[in-house]
Amino acid sequence: MAEALRIDPEFESKIPPLTEEEYQLLEENILQDGVVLNPLIVWNGCIVDGHNRFRIIQAHPEIKYTVFEKEFPDRYAAIAWICCNQLGRRNLTPQQKKYLIGQRYEAEKITASFHGNRFTLACESSRGQNDPDYKPERTRDRIARENNISESYVRRAERYAMGVDAADEIAPGIKQELLSGSIKPTDTAVAAIAKAEPDKRPALVEKLRQPKQLPGKAPAPVQKQIPTEIEPSSITADEAQLEEDLEEPELFTRPMTEIKKILAISSGMETAEELADESTMFYELEDAVSTMIRRCLRCFESYPGLLNKKSYRRKVLKILKEAIQFIHKIEQEEPT
């Protein structure tokens, strides 16, 4: 039976690989049991789950195993299922999760265009179409709901995944570096690879491996002690502090030059012009807005008094008006 099964390279490429230690442990456990406990899941003779188990079976023909045949309308539905199934793993890096969500979204869009809503594409929804209150969801909205993420994250994940694959075509092996987190360029830098012209991609891929550093300055020395007090408006290269600064409403009242400095540091000095064009930054701005809204809602849900008590409510509105003032400031600036 094993001779009739085969590995589809595209299917396997969606699955985060095991480390050498993890693979050896899996092999030891299978040899000790003398049987592969979980079945190999296949579609049209191609393995969709169990690639590592299949290789161990090939190396040890005496091992017993079972096969479960799964039905899909097309290979893109199979890819969507693979990504959805892998998202259930607990040991995924944030980059691997983002890549899988992006790949799932792309695959589901393709198969939906072929078959409409006649097929369940991946994870089963808790509400079927027989429900009288059922309303069809957009693909990205459903994926966002099932993974407890925002709709904008799904769209960014698709661009990120496309960038990862485009980068790996230029420099085979960089995909593993990106998804394992051994190199950590900005999502914008990765997404821009797929958007750039083919002749510009090699230079952009090379930049992915370059460490982030402020222009004209040597890397900051490692701080042996953490300061007990930090001025709210101080600019540091500490990424955790920068993340807090970027998400705090008081950012909107700072001078524009200071805002640009913070944004430059947080993006690792990867400007839109260097990557492709300004359009690559639209989803970054969308994320900034959705992050602010999400954090505000979390505060209001955890502390209802912020809106229910008059004194607190006035202060909340005062803070939020700072964001409005920032928008007005952008509106008043004349484009060059």
Average of per-residue pLDDT values in the chain? 79
Q: Give CA–CA dist 165/106, Å, rounded.
A: 13
Q: Please, which residues have CB within 8 angstroms of residue 41's CB and are 6 or more apart in sequence?
A: 47, 48, 49, 50, 67, 68, 70
Please check whether residues 328 and 243 belong to one and the same domain. Answer: yes
Q: Is the pLDDT of residue 145 over 90?
A: yes
Tokens, residue 63: 């091992």
Of 302, 334, 14, the residue nearest 175 (C-alpha): 14
Is residue 151 a part of any domain in this protein?
yes
Strand order in the sheet with 67-69: 46-49, 40-43, 67-69
Q: Tell me the pLDDT tens digit for each residue of 233-255.
A: 333 333 433 433 343 344 444 45
Dihedral class, residue 184 (left if φ above 0, else alpha if ψ from -120 to 50, else beta): beta
Instruction: Provide the b/e sequence for 114-130 (b: ≥16 CB within 10 Å).
Output: eeeeeeebbbeeeeeee
Please check whether residues 87 and 58 belong to one and the same domain. Answer: no
What is the helix (H) or strand (E) element at residue 111, kind and residue range?
helix 94-115
Q: Give CA–CA dist 192/202, Å, rounded.
A: 12
Print the domain residue range for 179.
76-122+138-208
Q: Tell me the pLDDT tens digit for each residue of 7-45.
A: 999 999 999 999 899 999 999 999 999 999 999 999 999
Of 68, 4, 62, 66, the residue nearest 37 (C-alpha): 66
- CA-based R_g, the chain, Å: 24
Is residue 230 a part of any domain in this protein?
no
Are 250 and 292 in contact by the 8 Å Cβ rule? The answer is no
Please check whether residues 28 and 83 belong to one and the same domain. Answer: no
Give residue 326's pLDDT.
86
Name all contacts of 47-53 with Cβ < 8 Å and 24+ positions apart: 47/5, 47/6, 47/7, 47/8, 47/11, 47/12, 48/11, 48/78, 48/81, 48/82, 48/85, 49/82, 49/85, 51/7, 51/12, 51/15, 52/18, 52/23, 52/26, 53/26
Give residue 213's pLDDT.
57
Q: Is the pLDDT of residue 51 over 60?
A: yes
Please check whether residues 53 and 111 belong to one and the same domain. Answer: no
3-state helix, strand, coil in the chain (%, to 5): 60, 5, 35
Give residue 57's pLDDT.
94
Q: Is the pLDDT of residue 127 over 60?
A: no
Is residue 231 a part of any domain in this protein?
no
Count other C-beta atoms under 10 Å from residue 53's C-beta.
Answer: 20
Last residue of a domain, one of 36, 51, 71: 71
Locus of tokens 């230690």: 21
Total tally of structural domains belonging to the chain: 3
Give residue 249's pLDDT.
40
Please check whether residues 51 and 116 belong to one and the same domain. Answer: no
Please check whether residues 313 and 243 belong to one and the same domain. Answer: yes
Is residue 297 a part of any domain in this protein?
yes
Are 54 and 40 in contact by the 8 Å Cβ rule? The answer is yes
